[in-house]
Amino acid sequence: MRAAHERGTRIAALCTGAFVLADAGLLDGRAAATHWMHAEELARAHPRVEVRPDVLYVDEGLVLTSAGKMAALDLCVHLVREDFGAAAANGLVRRLVGPGHRPGGQAQYATRPSLPRTTDGLAGTLAWAEDRLDQPVTVESLARRAGLSSRQLARRMRAELGLRPLDWLHRERISLAQELLESSDATIEQIAARCGLGTAATLRRHFRRTVGASPTTYRATFGRAAGRSA
């Protein structure tokens, strides 16, 4: 596979196929997608890979990766679109009786990741933080709660979660926002406050950067009213 890549062959990995590319070193220094349930595992096993757990697929030119089954189909349609044009891709989608083409940056539907199974107080510390996402939780307060220095906490979280403390906090705030958009009628301003992101503008900026869609678009796709007929 590495030899094929060196010859300029385009290689696509679907769902957990990203692990095969990562094991071959083809994802080092690149962004990659995989099913959200395996994103943390991929990040821990391959720290040189920029794992993007919230997108459908990633196109890095000669190396492409996708999330789960439907996202794998989206990546295949994307390849047809790139090589043969929009008309061919749309014709393929119609023959498959599928939805229209979805861009790779669109969000995966994902539940909040479960806390790590640890033998000490780290899981309790993270649960404590999850209960206070509407407050200004800091890396220092996390470290104090865990009885560690900030550096020790960073090493532990990187080893066990594949994330730095600030990245974990950001992910949890955005994950909570996703849950609230899916399950509540709270306004964007109210959700921003409950997630500790302050303002609706801040939530919109961080949400789009992380999920690849605006909160309004995400709610229309995954919220309680999604799919209801008039």
Determine the straight-line distance between the first and last CA of the chain, rounded to whole angstroms.
51
pLDDT 10s digits, 179-215:
899 889 999 999 999 999 999 999 999 998 887 788 9
pLDDT 10s digits, 56-103:
899 999 999 999 878 888 899 889 988 998 788 878 877 775 555 555
**To which residue do tokens 């990766």 refer?**
65
Average pLDDT over residues 30-53: 92
* Lowest model confidence (mean pLDDT) among 13-17, 51-55, 144-148, 176-180: 51-55
* Lowest model confidence (mean pLDDT) among 44-58, 103-117, 134-148: 103-117
Please give the pLDDT value at position 140. 95
Average pLDDT over residues 131-137: 93
* Lowest model confidence (mean pLDDT) among 76-80, 152-156, 157-161, 225-229: 225-229
- Cα 127 to Cα 145: distance, rounded to the nearest angstrom: 11
> What mean pLDDT is reported for the chain?
85
Average pLDDT over residues 114-140: 80
Residues in contact with 192: Cβ distance below 8 Å, sequence separation at least 6, in sequence order: 177, 198, 199, 200, 202, 203
- Residue 119 clears pLDDT 50, i.e. is over it: no
* Lowest model confidence (mean pLDDT) among 41-55, 57-71, 102-116, 149-163: 102-116
Instruction: Report residue 129's pLDDT band, with 50, 70 and 90 as the boundaries.
Output: very high
**String of DSSP letters for 109-142:** P-PPPPPP--SSSHHHHHHHHHTTTTS---HHHH
**String of DSSP letters for 77-120:** HHHHHHHH-HHHHHHHHHHTT-PPP--TTSBPP-PPPPPP--SS
Please give the pLDDT value at position 191. 97
Average pLDDT over residues 91-120: 57
Sorted by where each starts, the structural domains of the chain and their CATH numbers stand as: 2-95 (3.40.50.880), 122-222 (1.10.10.60)
